[in-house]
Amino acid sequence: MKRNVTFIILALALAAIMTACGGAEPTPTPVPATDTPVPPTETPIPPTDTPVPPTETPIPPTETPVPPTDTPEPAPEVVEPLRQWAVEAAASSQYGDEDWSAQQATGEPDTLECGDLVTAWAASSGSSIDILDVYYETPVYATAINIYQSYNPDQVVQVDLIALDGEIVPIYTQEQSDMTAECPYTLALELDETEFPVQGVRITVDQSFLGSWNEIDAVELVGIPGEGEAVRPAPPEALPITFDTPAGFLWRVGGESGVSDGQFAALGGMDATAEGLLYATDNINGIWIYDADGVQVGLVDHDELNNPADVKVGPDGNLYVASWGANQVFVFSPDGALITQFGAAGSGDGQFGDFSPQSLAVGLDGMVYVLDDNEDAAGESYTRVQKFTPDGTFVGWFPIEEDFFAASGMDIGPDGNLYVVGFVGGYVMKMDGAGNVLERLGEDALGFAGPQMIALDDAGNMYVTIWTDAGVMKLDPAGNLTGQFGVEVDPGSRDWPEGGFSSPGGVAVLPDGSMVFASDWSGYYAYITAFTFAE
């Protein structure tokens, strides 16, 4: 009771003090606390999320992890590149069967100086496009190629790899050029290691701009050795020659050169008659006879006729044949029967020098003029024209005294004069029957053309086979150029289209000038071509 009274007195005193301090709002009278705690009205509910123990015992793994058994591999061994030289070779053409052959490009370099030497490969022609394939003993994943060139480098325009399965894979090209590199020269090609094994290398040379041989001595292949069975591709072939047939072309006979089955060998001098018959010498087969349509109508031969080089039809209709292999002139009847033969080896009157005679002409009076390259008693070379009657009786001779002339062919004109062409001099000498020089004709046209042989029609026009550019020129009686026929080819071992000429030799013309004939021989192919000069 005392506690309550005391508590009330203290509360009143506190209220009086607060009133005196500014009239603060009265605070609620506190409810006296009791000392007895009040129990909760609701019984606490235990949590329902009590974890439930698992009903299944975890199953241990059935396999014990196996520790790795592979130990780290050592670093791979470094394989050194293999350097090797070719052991086999093939080419689209080669200059010889042994010297300058494709086989000369095998093995390590053995042409140690610059020059046109037999120990390197050279194509058959010095101005063609040709291909060389070389093969190696061990296939490799290629990393480098080194091409050793010993003459007129660098005309290599393409290099290909020959894969083990025979596929050709190009890796290098350059433009054709008329320039050469320092000689000897090595074309060195560095490659990213190929993903395929390589068995060989194909090299294409284009000599058409330079006009001379690019010779290859050896080819080195470098790479990581591989293995497998090699499949060879087809042997390389030179690109075909193509051009449009020139205007005026009439027909052509011949083909691959040979000595049998009607094929020509080396064709030479020719002559034609007003009846339209063409006579053409062949150094193996004799004298071919064709009509104006290109049909063979005869062949004249004899056991003693050796390397005939020229033929002329005399006013008597007989055939006069220069045979340098026999050092004689043969006379045949129109049907091919031997009438006579005259001449012998030597330097005397009526005798002929080595490789003579190769050209002749028959005058309107039947006199026979024979070109003879010979030597005097001191061994000095000279050229003369010997004169015979139709039956072979020696009449006399006169020299060809022109310096640097090199007489190569001759014919009689409608004026009865002798016309002699020189392949070095590059003009035509007009001479009388005694050997006096009357005129020099055609120097402007023939100066650097390499003229070979000559024929004249009844109007005095001259027809001359030339080697630069190969074909036939027509000159008027004053020596002015009035026409040119033919397309020059440099075939090597390839054939070529009609109207093309490689090394034309003989020429003939019908007396009225209406048809011209030319013989040609490349060493691989031989043709007789008939044409007319188009207006």
What pLDDT is recorded for position 239? Answer: 81
Give the DSSP letter string of 145-170: EEEEEEES---EEEEEEEETTS-EEE
What pLDDT is recorded for position 116? Answer: 96
Strand ranges in 295-403 using DSSP code E only, listed in sequence order: 296-300, 308-313, 319-323, 328-332, 338-342, 359-362, 368-375, 381-388, 394-399
Cβ atoms of 421 and 446 closer than 8 Å: yes
Closest residue by Cα to residue 412 from 385, 450, 374, 392: 385
Lowest mean pLDDT among 26-40, 342-356, 358-372, 483-497: 26-40
Cβ atoms of 422 and 409 closer than 8 Å: no
Domains annotated on the chain, with CATH: 82-225 (2.60.120.260), 249-531 (2.120.10.30)
Q: 68-113 pLDDT, tens per residue?
A: 566 666 666 778 899 999 999 999 999 999 999 999 999 999 998 9
Cβ atoms of 503 and 487 closer than 8 Å: no
- Once rounded to an integer, what is the mean pLDDT over residues 451-480? 97
- One-letter amino acid for residue 50 of the chain: T
What pLDDT is recorded for position 64? Answer: 56
Lowest mean pLDDT among 25-29, 153-157, 421-425: 25-29
Task: Record the pTM.
Answer: 0.73
Residue 80 Cα to chain centre, angstroms = 36
What span, in angstroms and rounded, lies between the C-alpha atoms of 333 and 340?
A: 10
- The SS3 assignment for 502 reads coil
Q: 275-334 pLDDT, tens per residue?
A: 999 999 999 999 999 999 999 999 999 999 999 999 999 999 999 999 999 999 999 999
Q: Is the peptide bond before 357 cis (omega within 30 degrees of 0)?
A: yes
The DSSP H or E segment spanning 11 is: helix 2-20
What span, in angstroms and rounded, lies between the C-alpha atoms of 316 and 366?
A: 7
Residue 379 Cα to chain centre, angstroms = 43
Q: Is the pLDDT of residue 246 over 70?
A: yes
What pLDDT is recorded for position 79? Answer: 80
Q: 194-232 pLDDT, tens per residue?
A: 999 999 999 999 998 888 999 999 999 999 999 999 999
What pLDDT is recorded for position 70? Answer: 63
- CA distances to 259, 262, 281, 287, 292 from 299, in Å: 13, 10, 10, 6, 16
Cβ atoms of 390 and 318 closer than 8 Å: yes
Q: Is the pLDDT of residue 9 over 50?
A: no
